[in-house]
Chains A and B, each alone.
Chain A
Amino acid sequence: MRLNRSIKHLSLIIISLFFVACSDITKPIDTEVYLPIGMDKDGCMRYRLKPTTQMSTQVIIYKSINDGYTPNKNTSNCR
């Protein structure tokens, strides 16, 4: 019983070490979040991309008419 528990613990440590050691070569799971940063002078809400772990482009984003996101204000849903 004690041996089984030790093996279980050891396997968890090994799995953890694997993920730590390979963090540089494995793309971590990321979530793309668009944070609203206020409206522009035309009343269009502006967003910026903020991935949870990665770096991102520093461009202003708008909500598009098809409920996606676009850097092109002319195709945004406020036009």
Chain B
Amino acid sequence: MLVNLKIPAILFSSALLLSGCGGGGGGSSANVAPDTQESVPDSTPVSVAADYRTTEYNTQYGLGKINADDIYADGYSGSGVVVGVIDTGVDIDHPDLVGNIASGGYDYVSVGGDTDASPTGQGAGMSHGTHVAGIIAGMKNDVGMHGVAYSAKILPLRAGDSSGSFASSAIENSIDRAISQNAKVINASFGGSSISTALADKWKLAHTNDIITVHAAGNDGGSNPLLGAQLPLHSGYEDLSSTLIAVVATNSSNTITSYSNRCGSAKNWCMTAPGDGIYSTVAVDDNNYASNYGTMSGTSMADPHVAGAAAVLRGKWPSKNAAEIVTILYDTATDLGAAGIDDIYGRGLLNLDNALFAQGVLTISTASGASYSLVDSSIQVASNMGNSLNGLLSMSVFDKYKRDYSFDMNGVIHYASESGLVDELNYSDTNYSSATDDLQLSVNLQDNSAKMTTQLNEVNVGFAHNTLYNSENISGFSKQYSLFDNAYLSQLKGSSSIQIAKDNATLELLSGYWDADNEQAIKEVGVSFLNDFNDDFYIKARLSYLEEDETFLSNYFSNAYKTGKAKTHALSLTSSLKPTANLNIIAQYSQGNTQVDSLSDSVISDISLLKSQYYSATVLNKNVYFDNDALFFSLKHPLQITQGSLNLSLANGLNADDSISFVDRRIPITASALSNEMSLGYAANYAKNSQASVLLNRANVLGSSIQLENQLMLKMTKKF
């Protein structure tokens, strides 16, 4: 065996690339309507938060301090949520509240009680409830100010008189009323140094009825909140820590006010919000104020910021229970003071913006209950699918609190374009071969391929690594312009094969990988028959059976989108005509059917039978102008899926019981926008070990749309 391996070559190449001289061929795709069926937004979403920083918004500086604008821009402001305001009454006819007053309020202070919970009698506490109600749900109407949850409804429950004193029994009745009227949040901007067992039990009843209760920490400047906010410290009331929030007051500099009690012993269920100099609604006939608005200070004013925020979140995620919403408020608060939960600010400053955004690792859920990391799941589309997946497809993904967020699936699709002049420029012909009578060895240093053929008892036996799918190389150009013996194997990254041929029949066995990491395996069995009419004309028919482990037709759907085994049966016809010794005309046509198994724990719940085809015609002329030069023209219709569809079971929001809703979407994956590709190339040796090549290429470039791109390449290569 003689093997003449030349001295290892050092490649010198210079190149001039001119490209991008035109486009064309628009892309079409399967358009699928977005499946955004989460809770209905309170208003038509406006794209930017800045649109919500109106005069009303800025007048109540607390809204900016808690970063409320982003969730408004997302379309949520508390719609559908009732907030019980147990206070000194609410001016239910106030022009900035009248539209947000729920029916069912009650006055437990007036003798005999009545359903008009408006305050009566002048006093320092007369407007307290109206002010609190405005902070929670003052209307957004370009007048005065608006509340944190400006689309929520206030359930006015008058339990305090106009001086500001509250009888325990009136509070207890108010809690019962809030429960019966389906309030989701109760604001308690009051407190004292004692609390009766009866009242404590009512707060517990609110807890068991899935209500968030928000308690002012008090204005004693002390180390601990008032007793009502400390209830979870007492035996029998520990569970309330999951739904009861104590609120301390910060000023416009996000610093605790001198008068506010600190979180202290309640720090684990305590947070802070703006409470100093808060502008809000006041009772229209209150002698203390000259207009319908005014400022007040205290933990009474910080409290309704948190109550309003809780209402907004309950409106956005109605399937979440009280404890889950409270956890989100705590975990997304801005840390103030000492790092972590501390004795002054507890969990930190309310941050509604943060509470809106997804927290932790986002996951994709499948109908079978499986869950996958969003970032670890992707779709790598080969050219045979074109841009058929590009569309308006979206699904719900979930954060660590199992909150649903709409996700545009286009973000996970990666397109693999076969054409690339960068690869072409890097290509150098390092193909070496040697032959004796019955042994031929060829080696290509560029792609580490090797092929050996020999003859045993009139049977040709070939062993190949990484070269089988290149039937004919074109001198000076990479495998991209080779004439593939099997179009279905054109995207193999590595393979080993055995070929056994006798007369005009060949059997081949192949094992390889689609990917460079040798993970996406493929096996192939092929039989080909050659009809050699004469030395200048033959027709070859090839039958192939390909089996892919994780891909189908080299499309790779990973993790959440994973697919099972793909089995392809393909027929290829190749004819070759040599009118002259140097001229060769080759035509190819391939067609295949692919059956892809679907997996129960995948978003891709079904794949129909896929039909695909490929055809090309090439004219190759050697020794045209110089010895060993080559001129070729190729017209190729890339391998494309011509028929087939995917069915996706996509998460589509949350049901009322917090389970995930799914919807099926079937998407055709036919690559209808792929255009015919053309190549005109010439390569010649202009000196010893020096080659010049020119390529004019018109190729499909894949992306969200398919562009037909023109490229011109000039390359000079010299080996030393």
Q: Which residues in A have some Cβ–Cβ distance to B below 8 Å? A: 24-25, 27, 30, 32, 37-38, 46, 48-49, 51, 53-61, 64, 68-75
Complex Cα–Cα for A30 and B160 (A): 13
Complex Cα–Cα for A71 and B130 (A): 13
Which of B215-223, B581-589, B704-712 lines the interface with chain A?
B215-223
Per-residue CB proximity of B269-290 to A under 8 Å, as 1/0?
0000000000000100000111
Q: Is the CB of A60 within 8 A of B296?
A: yes
Which of B164-172, B363-371, B556-564 lines the interface with chain A?
B164-172
Q: Is the CB of B288 within 8 A of A32?
A: no
**Interface assignment of B649: CB less than 8 Å from any CB of chain A:** no
Q: Which residues of chain B are near A48, meaning CB under 8 Å? A: 219-220, 259, 298
Q: Which residues of chain A are near B288, meaning CB under 8 Å? A: 64, 70-72, 75
Q: Is the CB of A59 within 8 A of B128?
A: yes
**Interface assignment of B192: CB less than 8 Å from any CB of chain A:** yes
Q: Which residues of chain A are near B289, meaning CB under 8 Å? A: 72, 75
Complex Cα–Cα for A25 and B226 (A): 24
Q: Smallest distance from the beta carbon of B399 to chain A beta carbons, Å?
A: 34
Q: Is the CB of B296 within 8 A of A24?
A: no
Q: Is the CB of B167 within 8 A of A54?
A: yes
Q: Smallest distance from the beta carbon of B321 to chain A beta carbons, Å?
A: 27
Q: Which residues of chain B are near A68, meaning CB under 8 Å? A: 124
Complex Cα–Cα for A55 and B171 (A): 10
Q: Is the CB of A58 within 8 A of B296?
A: no
Q: Smallest distance from the beta carbon of A68 to chain B beta carbons, Å?
A: 7
Contact of A71 among B127, B169, B216, B259 (CB under 8 A): B127
CB<8 Å pairs between A and B, sample of 7: A53-B194, A55-B190, A56-B192, A58-B298, A59-B131, A71-B124, A71-B294
Question: Chain B: interface secondary structure?
Answer: loop
Known: A70-B288, A73-B295. A58 touches B124 (CB 8 A): no
Q: Smallest distance from the beta carbon of A70 to chain B beta carbons, Å?
A: 4
Known: A37-B259, A38-B259. A71 touches B165 (CB 8 A): no
Considering the complex, give the chain A residue whose CB is closest to the CB of B221.
Answer: A37
Known: A37-B259, A46-B259, A69-B124. A56 touches B294 (CB 8 A): no
Complex Cα–Cα for A56 and B220 (A): 12
Most buried by B among A24, A38, A48, A49: A49
**Interface assignment of B268: CB less than 8 Å from any CB of chain A:** no
Q: Is the CB of B218 within 8 A of A60?
A: no
* Chain B residues bordering chain A, tally (CB within 8 A): 46
Complex Cα–Cα for A59 and B165 (A): 12
Contact of B163 among A32, A55, A64, A72 (CB under 8 A): A32
Considering the complex, give the chain B residue whose CB is closest to the CB of A39.
Answer: B258
Q: Which residues of chain B are near A71, meaning CB under 8 Å? A: 124-125, 127-128, 131, 288, 294, 296-297
**Interface assignment of B663: CB less than 8 Å from any CB of chain A:** no
Q: Is the CB of B190 within 8 A of A27?
A: no
Known: A60-B259, A60-B297. A51 touches B165 (CB 8 A): yes
**Interface assignment of B354: CB less than 8 Å from any CB of chain A:** no
Q: Is the CB of B163 within 8 A of A38?
A: no
Q: Is the CB of A59 within 8 A of B294?
A: no
Contact of A56 among B169, B190, B282 (CB under 8 A): B190
Complex Cα–Cα for A27 and B160 (A): 12
Q: Is the CB of A72 within 8 A of B295?
A: yes
Considering the complex, give the chain A residue whose CB is closest to the CB of B125.
Answer: A57
Q: Smallest distance from the beta carbon of B191 to chain A beta carbons, Å?
A: 6
Complex Cα–Cα for A32 and B296 (A): 20
Q: Is the CB of B221 within 8 A of A49?
A: no
Complex Cα–Cα for A16 and B59 (A): 55
Q: Is the CB of A56 within 8 A of B258?
A: no
Known: A58-B299, A59-B301, A70-B124. A24 touches B220 (CB 8 A): no
Q: Smallest distance from the beta carbon of B168 to chain A beta carbons, Å?
A: 7
Q: Smallest distance from the beta carbon of B136 to chain A beta carbons, Å?
A: 15
Q: Which residues of chain B are near A64, meaning CB under 8 Å? A: 288
**Interface assignment of B572: CB less than 8 Å from any CB of chain A:** no
Known: A37-B259, A38-B258. A72 touches B294 (CB 8 A): yes
Q: Smallest distance from the beta carbon of B173 to chain A beta carbons, Å?
A: 11
Q: Is the CB of B259 within 8 A of A55?
A: no
Complex Cα–Cα for A58 and B189 (A): 6
Q: Which residues of chain A are near B303, meaning CB under 8 Å? A: 58
Q: Which residues of chain A are near B125, meaning CB under 8 Å? A: 49, 56-57, 59, 71
Per-residue CB proximity of B173-201 to A under 8 Å, as 1/0?
00000000000000001111011001000
